[in-house]
């Protein structure tokens, strides 16, 4: 139920669902790289897919905006961290703690310049530091509004530039190593992730919901 809500919320920005899938899968792969157990890494994949669930509280025209946001709209957008954590706190989700941490802290920065709390370093829960890296990579390789879509190596270079300011400087090299190994073994990273998405129950739910929302009456 919670995941369906997250999928519906994300459809405004990510109609195919692929970006959300990639954030989840890349978070899981980084967690595995760090030595997390498979069940823990899998739980993080689910938590990562819920990271922006609080955007349900943000108006359509702000979430879908292709223009720079006004100051009050930025505030409203930033409210999605608290909103998501509050919503997840009220669920009886398995591994709720992980999902709450990710929703609350995925926009914090290593140097304390992020939001909403402005905390930095290891005060940011590890799960949120992992998802922030996966999210940034997924966003750069999907292409942001007004910005070109980057290839994997270019996106990794950007992450490396942000190591120690935006991102955890110990996690970035692990992510870079993991992605490079993956690219070497599968050749086409986008194709590999798209195929994994296609086989996933997550995408089946996404397709069902997208179909239902496209039916007349919605």
| Shortest distance, position 51 Cβ to Fe ion, whole Å | 6
Residue with smaller CB distance to Fe ion, 132 or 203:
132
Q: Is 45 in the site for Fe ion (CB under 5 A)?
A: no
Residue with smaller CB distance to Fe ion, 138 or 171:
138
Q: Residue 187: left if φ>0, alpha if ψ -120 to 50, beta else—which one?
A: left
Question: What's the rounded Cα separation, in Å, for the pair 114 and 106?
Answer: 9
Q: Is 101 in the site for Fe ion (CB under 5 A)?
A: no
Residue at shortest CB range from Fe ion: 52
Its sign, for the CA torsion 71, 117, 79, 23, is positive
Among 14, 33, 45, 52, indicate the residue that binds Fe ion (CB under 5 A): 52
Q: Which stretch binds Fe ion (CB under 5 A): 46-54, 97-105, 147-155, 191-199?
A: 46-54
Q: Which stretch binds Fe ion (CB under 5 A): 39-47, 49-57, 93-101, 109-117?
A: 49-57
Contacts 24+ apart (CB under 8 A), 146-155: 146/66, 152/179, 152/183, 152/189
| Full 3-state SS string of 109-131 | CCCCCCCCCCCCHHHCCHHHHHH
Q: Is 100 exposed, middle or buried (0-12, 13-18, 19+ CB in 10 A)?
A: buried
Q: Which of 39, 25, 28, 135 is nearest to 81 (CA)?
A: 135
Residue with smaller CB distance to Fe ion, 52 or 108:
52
| Shortest distance, position 80 Cβ to Fe ion, whole Å | 6
Q: Which stretch binds Fe ion (CB under 5 A): 42-50, 52-60, 89-97, 123-131?
A: 52-60
| Shortest distance, position 54 Cβ to Fe ion, whole Å | 8
DSSP H/E element including 133? helix 126-142
Q: Which residues, 115 to 144, sit near Fe ion by CB under 5 A?
A: none
Binding site for Fe ion (CB under 5 A): 52
């Amino acid at each position: 139920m919670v995941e369906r809500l997250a999928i519906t919320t994300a459809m405004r920005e990510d109609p195919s669902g692929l970006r959300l899938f990639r954030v989840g899968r890349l978070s899981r792969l980084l967690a595995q790289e760090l030595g997390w157990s498979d069940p823990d890494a899998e739980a993080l994949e689910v938590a990562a897919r819920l990271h922006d669930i609080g955007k349900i509280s943000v108006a359509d025209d702000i979430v879908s905006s292709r223009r720079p946001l006004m100051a009050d709209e930025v505030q409203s957008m930033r409210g999605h961290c608290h909103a998501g954590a509050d919503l997840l706190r009220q669920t009886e989700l398995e591994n709720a703690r992980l999902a709450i941490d990710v929703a609350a802290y995925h926009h914090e920065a290593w140097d304390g310049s992020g939001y909403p709390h402005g905390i930095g370093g290891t005060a940011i829960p590890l799960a949120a530091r992992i998802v922030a890296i996966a999210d940034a990579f997924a966003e750069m390789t999907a292409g942001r509004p007004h910005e070109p879509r980057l290839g994997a190596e270019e996106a990794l270079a950007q992450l490396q530039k942000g190591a120690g300011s935006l991102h955890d400087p110990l996690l970035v090299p692990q992510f870079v190593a993991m992605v490079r190994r993956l690219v070497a073994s599968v050749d086409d990273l986008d194709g590999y992730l798209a195929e994994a998405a296609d086989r996933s129950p997550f995408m089946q739910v996404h397709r069902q919901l997208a179909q239902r929302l496209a039916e007349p009456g919605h």
